[in-house]
């Protein structure tokens, strides 16, 4: 029986010639990731072990991004715990506030993850790196502790769903619309503990930023991971970012898939996920008249340079609606600098928005954009659960940067075409 891309990566790292869905394996890890929320817990768990040294100081990444700049004493203490551990263990890839970014944008940007890698992270959106052809998945802090100590992890080999992509998306349709469309099709548990494997000629029409967005939200369908094949765009991205060591795994022709979906990208419209689940997807022409109080553009899902460019293209020469709060946060310092040099930040500010340092803050209801009872937000983030961005009686609508920007201008859920674009 043949293997999928994900199964081949797992087999390789377990030293096995073959694995099958449901099999339990122990595999060697290429990278272990933690942030300022999850790493302190892992560090305390590792202290309970007899091992007092990490397995490889170059294969651990610690990124303070959730509550940084520190919003209170507790977040400052968490960051101090991580900082002191990084210094004590001489961790190569610890990123202080001036060089940091949102972890899932930062690691690919730094060339720390690449095709064929096996990566765990104590954050559910670690699945982002599947865009590069890696097997990456989120784990708990205890698993992170074991990974830091031993360089190994236990996995149950996932079965897979194949998504065959064809066609080319319309101008204002992005990776966010594609993944919201898919989650709307299969539901938030439609890929539970499965690998979402994306193939087909349509992939060539998706940018790397599109692919990062799609892989990032595989977890919102319940998936263990999302993964794309390696093509010329992937190779160029890795080369540009210094990820020179990689391995390419191609699915076998007789690989077994639980389901196969064929999706024509040219048929997908701008899509919005209504409260309180990402599966509540509606196309932009079916959203109705919904007033919005706050728009958030950024996050590990949509804070990359193409996302900011799309938002700026919509906002150029326009003003946000009266009473509207527009918050933009680039995903990394490098993206922030590039956006500044391209004049994108000036566009946001002239339109009436504010620009934040890279942080996960608004996405998880942490800081930099909390919602009060009764308030509604359109956000380019990845989750719209009850209370996700603030009060349990607030509402979050998930959308692409283009739709979010258009909404900021009109004050209600809108697409670029509503502005004549």
Question: Digits of tens for pLDDT over the chain (421 positions)?
Answer: 899 999 999 999 999 999 999 999 999 999 999 999 999 999 999 999 888 899 999 999 999 999 988 999 999 999 999 999 999 999 999 999 888 899 999 999 999 999 999 999 999 999 999 999 999 999 999 999 999 999 999 999 999 999 999 999 999 999 999 999 999 999 999 999 999 999 999 999 999 999 999 999 999 999 999 999 999 999 999 999 998 899 999 999 999 999 999 999 999 999 999 999 999 999 999 999 999 999 999 999 999 999 999 999 999 999 999 999 999 999 999 999 999 999 999 999 999 999 999 999 888 888 999 999 999 999 999 999 999 999 999 999 999 999 999 999 999 999 999 999 8
One domain, residues 239 and 278: no
One domain, residues 124 and 14: yes
One domain, residues 91 and 186: yes
Sign of CA dihedral 102, 105, 109, 115: positive
Of the three residues 241, 264, 287, the one that is the final residue of a domain is 264
Number of domain units in the chain: 2
Per-residue model confidence as pLDDT tens digits over 120-146: 999 999 999 999 999 999 999 999 999
Q: How far apart are CA 60 and CA 81, in angstroms?
A: 15
Cβ density class 383-397: b for 16+ within 10 Å, e for less: bbeeebbbeeebbbb
One domain, residues 25 and 101: yes
One domain, residues 298 and 356: yes
Task: Spell out where 133-211 has E strands.
Answer: 135-138, 152-156, 159-166, 194-199
Of the three residues 244, 264, 284, the one that is the final residue of a domain is 264
One domain, residues 46 and 78: yes
* Backbone angles phi and psi of 323, in degrees to 5: 90, -5
One domain, residues 158 and 239: yes
One domain, residues 132 and 52: yes
210: containing domain: 5-264
Structure confidence at residue 51 (pLDDT)? 85
Of the three residues 219, 234, 264, the one that is the final residue of a domain is 264
Q: How far apart are CA 71 and CA 131, in angstroms?
A: 32
Q: How far apart are CA 360 and CA 101, in angstroms?
A: 9
CA nearest neighbour of 18 among 4, 29, 32, 39: 4
One domain, residues 96 and 229: yes
Check if the beta carbon of residue 388 is closer than 8 Å to that of residue 365. Answer: yes
Structure confidence at residue 286 (pLDDT)? 93
One domain, residues 205 and 65: yes
What CATH number does residue 78 fall under?
Answer: 3.30.499.10
Give, in order, the Cα–Cα distances in Å from 94 to each of 34, 35, 36, 61: 10, 10, 11, 6
One domain, residues 282 and 236: no
One domain, residues 255 and 309: no
* Backbone angles phi and psi of 108, in degrees to 5: -65, -40
């Amino acid at each position: 029986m043949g293997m999928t891309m994900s199964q081949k990566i797992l087999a390789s790292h377990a030293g096995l010639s073959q694995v099958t869905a449901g099999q339990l394996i122990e595999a060697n890890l290429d990278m272990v990731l933690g942030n300022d929320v999850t790493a302190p817990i892992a560090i305390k768990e590792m202290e309970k072990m007899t091992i007092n040294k990490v397995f490889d100081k170059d294969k651990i990444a610690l990124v303070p991004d959730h509550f940084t700049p520190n919003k209170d004493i507790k977040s400052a203490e968490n960051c101090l715990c991580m900082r002191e551990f990084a210094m004590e263990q001489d961790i190569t890839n610890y990123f202080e506030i001036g060089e940091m970014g949102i972890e899932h944008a930062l690691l690919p940007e730094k060339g720390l993850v690449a095709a064929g890698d096996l990566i765990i992270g104590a954050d559910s959106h670690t699945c982002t790196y599947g865009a590069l052809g890696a097997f990456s998945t989120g784990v708990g802090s205890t698993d992170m502790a074991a990974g830091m100590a031993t360089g190994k992890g236990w996995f149950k080999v996932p079965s897979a769903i194949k998504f065959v992509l064809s066609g080319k998306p319309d101008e204002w349709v992005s990776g966010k619309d594609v993944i919201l469309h898919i989650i709307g099709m299969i539901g938030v548990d439609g890929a539970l503990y499965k690998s979402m494997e994306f193939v087909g000629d349509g992939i060539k029409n998706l940018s790397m930023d599109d692919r990062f967005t799609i892989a990032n939200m595989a977890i919102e369908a319940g998936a263990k991971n999302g993964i794309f094949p390696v093509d010329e765009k992937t190779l160029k991205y890795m080369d540009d970012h210094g990820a020179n060591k990689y391995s390419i795994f191609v699915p076998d022709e007789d690989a077994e898939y639980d389901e196969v979906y064929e999706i024509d990208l040219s048929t997908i419209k701008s899509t919005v996920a209504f409260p309180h689940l990402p599966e509540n997807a509606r196309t932009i022409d079916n959203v109705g008249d919904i007033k919005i109080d706050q728009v958030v553009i950024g996050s590990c899902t949509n804070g990359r340079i193409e996302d900011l460019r799309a938002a700026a293209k919509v906002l150029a020469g326009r003003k946000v609606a009266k009473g509207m709060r527009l918050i933009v946060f680039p995903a990394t310092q490098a993206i922030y600098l590039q956006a500044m040099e391209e004049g994108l930040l000036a566009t946001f500010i002239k339109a009436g928005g504010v620009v934040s340092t890279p942080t996960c803050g608004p996405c998880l209801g942490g800081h930099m954009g909390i919602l009060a009872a009764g308030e509604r937000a359109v956000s380019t983030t990845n989750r719209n659960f009850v209370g996700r961005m603030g009060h349990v009686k607030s509402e979050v609508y998930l959308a692409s940067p283009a739709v979010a920007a258009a909404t900021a201008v009109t004050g209600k859920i809108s697409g670029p075409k509503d502005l004549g674009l």
